[in-house]
Amino acid sequence: MASLTVRRLDDEIKVALKLRAAKNGRSVEDEVRVILRDAAGSAEPATIDPGAERPQPRVEGGRRVTLIIGGGIAAYKALDLIRRIKERGFYVRVVLTQAATHFVTALTVSALADERCYTDLFDSQSEFDAGHIRLARDCDLIVVAPATADLMAKMAHGLADDLASAVLLATDKPILLAPAMNPLMWRNAATRRNVAQLLHDGVLTVGPNAGEMAEANEAGLGRMSEPLEIAAKVEAMLRPKQLQNLQPQSLNGLRVLITAGPTHEPIDPVRYIANRSSGKQGYAIAAAAAAAGAETVLVSGPVNLPDPKGVRVMRVESARDMLSRVEQSLPADIAIFAAAVADWRVSNAGEQKIKKSASGLPQLDLVENPDILATIAKRTHDRPKLVIGFAAETEHVAQNATAKLARKGSDWIVANDVSPATGIMGGDSNTVQIFMKDHTAPETWPAMSKDDVAGRLIARIAQAVHGVPPKSMS
Ligand code: C5P
């Protein structure tokens, strides 16, 4: 059935239907499909996309958090937590316990998470493909906030009689609990035993904090940590391993300038020439440089990525804007040109939208854009000590990279094969070779995530800057 139209329903049924759909995080139409399928007793899986896989923005490293919201008054703070985790560039998928649905609605949670939330262990829709196993495994971290006394008791005893506890029992991922309960419940011997057991099992906690309770005249230890505090802990746990291994001070006192993303070259006020660069690699390098203590400036073309922490970001559109921002940002000690700058721009770009005309196709005259890398590498004044370019090639990677090193005057070229089969352009992983001036053989690094390439590149730069001899640097 390609489409479904439901007309002339009683208002009461309409309201009930809307509520049921909202609770399950489905459209009304999808909800009707589920009801019909169940009524028909069909053994066929419904061909429904309940919004479950509505794509979330692709983010750095694609790290994913399953957030379990327990049934306590602090559940309202978990709504803010969803935003705070997303703000840090992670995906969030939410499970609500039945008790939590008394405090927050599935509709609000789904709207904030950009994805339906999950409530029911026996939901035919998600359990068709073992939904609780997917929720437990298809993530990098499980956060429980608020973690109620009841939920922690279930965890400590390995119970799995609802979706949240089943996910927690089925996971092999790290678990972070943000306990929240009345101080008397927190102090109760049973809770003490359960928390001790969970800590012994390797579960991590944040909070609870001391303070006022929701109940009048009650105060003490039991308030859930603030969303910002929990999000900071999530971020610390999910930081790429490569960044965790970085010496935090290895680039202290140095200024690093990075370009990233594509450029947009206008054809007229509404059209432009662009390319498929996502900016992920350059953003990851900026994050790694900042994590290593560098004063980091990122000049970014138009991308859909959050500003990396601790980095000064300047957003530009065209190659000429990018060059001028880069020049304004000098002097710098190290410059890394990861942007996929458009080679050409339209010299006769329309001031108004170009209209179709009977007299033929518009004539676009292309002129070459300034080469930002070459311009900076060949400066005689204020040239950064280390200038690094990228070479995205679809063939003859080594020859092209070596030629580029000489032609552009850079010190290193980070080369990668971006032919479509590699999935590197826009993807999360990268395989690179580092070509260095005066070195015949390049360093070839194994395939790794773009975050790991960034961490390793910054570590490598730190070695070079601190004068570690080339032979021991690979
Ligand atoms: O010539 P090609 O575009 O392959 O060179 C890639 C390297 O040069 C990258 O580091 C890129 O950021 C830089 N580049 C630049 N300005 C241009 C073209 C490329 O900075 N106009």
In this model, does residue 474 exceed pLDDT 60?
no
Q: What share of the chain is helix, strand, coil (3-state, %, to 5)?
A: 40, 20, 45
Ligand 1 centroid distance, CA of 408 (Å): 9
Residue 7: per-residue pLDDT: 59
**Which atom in ligand 1 lies closest to the alpha carbon of residue 259?**
12
Mean pLDDT value across residues 239-260: 80
pLDDT at 472: 38
Would residue 217 show up in a list of annotated catalytic residues for this protein? no
CA 387/CA 422 separation, integer angstroms? 27
Residue 47 has pLDDT above 50, yes or no: no
pLDDT at 59: 39
C-beta of 411 in contact with ligand 1 (< 6 A)? no
CATH superfamily of 241-345+366-472: CoaB-like (3.40.50.10300)
End-to-end CA distance of the chain: 60
Determine the pLDDT at residue 4.
Answer: 55
* Spatial CA neighbour of 108 closest among 80, 128, 144, 74: 80
Question: Mean pLDDT over residues 315-337, rounded?
Answer: 97
Whether the CB-CB separation of 119 and 106 falls below 8 Å is answered with yes
Ligand 1 pocket: which of 372, 387, 457 to mutate (most atoms <8 Å of CB)? 372
What is the DSSP-derived secondary structure letter of residue 185? H
Using the atom order of ligand 1, give the atom closest to the CA of residue 339.
12
Average pLDDT over residues 408-435: 81
Q: Is 435 in the pocket of ligand 1 (CB under 6 A)?
A: no
pLDDT of residue 131: 66
Closest ligand 1 atom to Cα of 391: 6
Distance 343 CA to ligand 1 centre (A): 8
C-alpha dihedral sign at 89, 93, 99, 103: positive
115 within 8 A of 102, measured Cβ to Cβ: no
Choose which residue among 259, 345, 373, 379 to substitute to test ligand 1 binding: the one with the highest number of ligand atoms within 8 A of its C-beta.
Answer: 373
How confident is the model at residue 217, as a pLDDT?
Answer: 74
- Report the interhelical angle of 189-200 vs 149-157 (nearest 10°): 50
Q: Residue 15, Cβ neighbours under 10 Å: how many?
A: 11
Q: Does ligand 1 lie within 6 Å of residue 387's CB atom?
A: no
Say how far apart CA 393 and CA 445 lie, in whole Å: 16
Residue recorded with tokens 């390793």: 456
More reliable by pLDDT, 335 or 307: 335
What class has domain 11-29+63-238? alpha beta
CA of 62 from ligand 1 middle (Å) equals 27
35-39, 161-165, 405-409, 435-439: which has the minimum mean pLDDT?
35-39
Q: Which residue has the higher pLDDT, 468 or 169?
A: 169
Choose the residue to mutate in 264, 334, 390, 402 for probing ligand 1, maximizing ligand atoms within 8 Å of C-beta. 390
Cα angle value 323/314/413 (rounded, 5°): 55
The rounded Å distance from CA 270 to ligand 1 centre is: 25
What Cα–Cα distance (Å) separates residue 430 from each residue in 243, 280, 417?
Answer: 16, 11, 9
- Give pTM, 2 decimals: 0.57
pLDDT of residue 116: 87
**Residue 277: CB within 6 Å of ligand 1?**
no
Q: What is the pLDDT of residue 49?
A: 36
> In the chain, what are the domain boundaries?
11-29+63-238, 241-345+366-472
Of 182, 217, 245, 275, catalytic: 275
Quote the CA–CA distance of 8 and 306 in Å, as a whole number: 46
Ligand 1: does its nearest atom lie under 6 Å from the Cβ of 262? no
* Average pLDDT for 200-206: 94
Average pLDDT of the chain is 85
25 lines ligand 1 (CB under 6 A): no
Residue 6: band (very low, low, confident or very high) from pLDDT cuts 50, 70, 90: low
3 state DSSP class of 413:
strand
Q: Which amino acid does the sequence have at 435?
A: F
Residue 69: beta bridge partners?
Answer: 96
Helix axis angle for 11-23 and 28-40, nearest 10°, is 90
Q: Which residue has the higher pLDDT, 253 or 121?
A: 253
- pLDDT of 255 > 80? The answer is yes
pLDDT at res. 115: 86
**Cα→Cα distances 156→98, 130, 169, 211, 406, Å:** 19, 23, 10, 26, 63
Stated length of the chain: 474
Section 250-258 average pLDDT: 94
Amino acid at 238: L
| CA dist., res. 65 & res. 106, Å (int) | 17
Query: Which residue's CA is the nearest one to ligand 1's atom 4?
Result: 391
Res 427 pLDDT > 70: no
> 8-12, 164-168, 222-226 — which is least confidently predicted?
8-12
- Decide whether any atom of ligand 1 lies within 6 Å of the 337 Cβ: yes
Q: Is 259 in the pocket of ligand 1 (CB under 6 A)?
A: yes
Q: Determine whether the shortest distance from the Cβ of 418 to ligand 1 is under 6 A.
A: no
pLDDT score of 52: 38
**Ligand 1 center from residue 390 Cα (angstroms):** 7
Place of tokens 């580092």: 434
Q: Evaluate whether 179 touches 221 at the Cβ level (below 8 Å).
A: no
CA–centroid distance, 415 to ligand 1, in Å, is 12
Find the Cα–Cα–Cα–Cα dihedral 101, 107, 109, 111, rounded to 10°.
180
CB 149 within 8 A of CB 90: no
- pLDDT mean over 58-69: 74
CB of residue 391 inside a 6 A radius of ligand 1: yes
SS3 386: strand
The SS3 of residue 387 is strand
